[in-house]
Amino acid sequence: MSKTVFEKIADGEIPGNIVYEDDICIAFMDAFPLSKGHTLVVPRKPIENIYDLDEETGAHLMKIITKVANAVKDAFEPAGLNVIQNNGSFASQSVYHIHFHLVPRYENEYDGFGYQWNQDPNERSDEEKKEIEQMLKDKLDV
């Protein structure tokens, strides 16, 4: 199986603006940033998406995401920051190696990020909400 671009960056086969690395993950500047400081945090081992992410690697990634997010905040003082992680082509995943985007957001500055949150127009009855809740609990063994 061929390596993803993220594996190639982690292995030093192609250049990347690396801001952090350890044995488990690497953080580097996005090659096509949406804003100043846009950084990716990626595990070194090939993991396609969140469904395949083991708890230990996930916990370490979150620790480093927090560390890098604070570095971005301290370095650039953005008005906010989005942490984005996509799974599958329908959810806009384009590199099939799990990665987390840290996108600083600046007031009065174009950042190419057209993020919007539109509430589901389907109103759900209390009964339907309870059914959904139970379906998830059943899968979580709660």
Token pair, residue 16, equals 């990347």
**Residues forming a β-bridge with 103:** 82
pLDDT tens digits, 59-104: 999 999 999 999 999 999 999 999 999 999 999 999 999 999 999 9
Residues of the chain with pLDDT > 70: what percent?
99
Q: Which of 38, 60, 97, 99 is catalytic?
A: 99
d(CA 72, CA 85) in angstroms, rounded, equals 18
Catalytic residue check, 60: no
Token pair, residue 96, equals 């099939």
Architecture of domain 5-140: 2-Layer Sandwich (3.30)
Token pair, residue 107, equals 């007031």
For all residues of the chain together, what is the average pLDDT? 94
Supply the pTM of this predicted model: 0.91
pLDDT tens digits, 107-125: 988 777 877 788 888 899 9
Q: Would you give the distance in Å from CA 1 to the centre of its chain?
A: 24
The answer to whether 52 and 98 have CB atoms below 8 angstroms apart is yes
